[in-house]
Amino acid sequence: MTTANSMSLKKTSLSLPPRYALVAGLITASLIVFWQAFGELMQSAWQHDEYTHILLVLPVSLILIFLEGRNLAAEPRYAPAIGLTVLGLAAGIALAGKAARFALGENGVLSVSILALVVVWMGCVLLAYGTQVFRSLLFPLLFLFMIVPVSVSLLDRGVFYLQQGSTEMAFLLFKLSGVPVLKQGFVLSMPSLSIEVAKECSGIRSSMMLLVTGLVLSHLFLRSFWSQVVFVFFIVPMAVIKNAVRIFTLSMLAMHVDPGFLTGRLHHEGGVVFFILALAGMLGLLLVLQKLERKMPVAGTLREGMKQPGGVELSVL
C-alpha cells in the first residue's frame, strides 16, 4: 500500500515538469516571435500614463495563477485539439493585423499584435493543461487581456468622460461648500481663481490602476456574481469622485493658503494620496457587500468556500 502510494506520487511529480517545460518553451517562443510588439508595449507602459497599469497586470496575473494553481481540484490533461485551434486563431489574428496595417495605424497594429500574443498564451495553457484547469484559472488568464492597449480614439473618449465627470463633481463640491463658482466647459471660475480641468487632470492613470485593483479585489473577496458586478460598477464613479476631490482640495488650498499649491508637489506628486482615499472608499464598499453576501446567501456563487493555500477563507474582516 505504501509502496503503491509512493510510486503514484513519483509518477505525479515526474509528470509535472514536462508540462512546465512545454508551457515555458511555448511562451518563450511567443515572446521571440512578438518581441518587437512586446517591447513597444513595455515602452508605452513606461512612458505614457494611460498605459502604466500594464506594468501591474502581468505580475498580478502571474501571482494569481501561481496561488490558485497550487490548489487546483481539476486534473491537468493535455488538450492538443483545442490548444492548437486557439494557437491557430492567434496566428490568424496576427496575420490579419499585419494585412490591415494601413487601416489600423501603428497603435492599432500594436493592439492586434498584443491581442494575438495573449491568445497564444491561452492556447499554451489549454494545450498543456486542458479545459478544466483553464476554467479553474479563468480570472487570472482573462485578466491578461488588460495588457492589450486600448485604441487612441476609445482612450480619448474615456479621458473626455473623466474630464466631464470630474468637472461636474468639482463644481458640485464648490457649490456645497458655499464658494461662488461658474462653469463653462471644463473651466471653473471663482472670485480669486480660475482653473481648467485639462486632460492631464482627468486622472486616467490612477483610474486605470483603480480599475485593475478593483477587479482583483472583487475576484478575491466577493463570492457572488451580483456583488462583483456592483463593486466593479462603482469603480468609475469612485474615480470621478477622487479626481473631483483632488481638484477641490488643491483649489481651496490655493485660494485660502498659498497659490503655490496649484504648481507644487501636492499637485504633481500627490495623486497617490487621493488614490489611497479612493481605495479606502472601495474597501468600505467591499465590506458592505461582504456583509450582504453573508445575510443573503445566493445559490450558484462563483467560488463558494474558496480557500487560500493555507486553508484560510479569504476575507477583509
Question: 60 with 170, same domain?
Answer: no
Question: 99 with 196, same domain?
Answer: no
Residue 302 lies in a domain: no
**Domain end point (choices 118, 150, 182):** 150
Residue 314 lies in a domain: no
CA distance 251 to 186: 14
CA distance 87 to 64: 23
Cβ atoms of 206 and 271 within 8 Å: the answer is yes
Domain that holds residue 58: 2-150
Residue 38 lies in a domain: yes
Question: 137 with 178, same domain?
Answer: no
Q: Cα separations (Å) of 240 from 38, 128, 180, 229, 250? A: 31, 43, 22, 18, 16
∠ CA 236-242-248, nearest 5°, is: 135
Number of domains in the chain: 2
Residue 313 lies in a domain: no
Question: 94 with 187, same domain?
Answer: no
Tens digit of each residue's pLDDT, the chain (317 residues): 444 444 444 443 334 568 888 888 999 999 999 999 999 999 988 888 788 889 999 999 999 998 888 877 778 889 999 999 999 999 999 999 888 877 777 788 899 999 999 999 999 999 999 999 999 999 999 999 999 998 777 888 888 888 889 899 999 999 998 888 888 888 888 888 888 887 766 677 888 889 999 999 999 999 888 999 999 999 989 989 988 988 888 888 888 887 776 666 665 566 778 888 889 999 999 999 999 988 875 444 444 444 444 333 333 33
Question: 44 with 170, same domain?
Answer: no
Confidence (pLDDT) at 297: 58
Question: 93 with 208, same domain?
Answer: no
pTM here? 0.79
Q: Cα separations (Å) of 147 from 53, 139, 293? A: 8, 14, 31
Confidence (pLDDT) at 85: 96
Cβ atoms of 113 and 34 within 8 Å: the answer is yes
Confidence (pLDDT) at 307: 40
Residue 90 lies in a domain: yes
In sequence order, the β-bridge partners of residue 182 are: 189
**Domain end point (choices 150, 171, 193):** 150
Question: 159 with 146, same domain?
Answer: no
Residue 312 lies in a domain: no
Cβ atoms of 168 and 187 within 8 Å: the answer is no
Cβ atoms of 189 and 181 within 8 Å: the answer is yes
Question: 131 with 248, same domain?
Answer: no
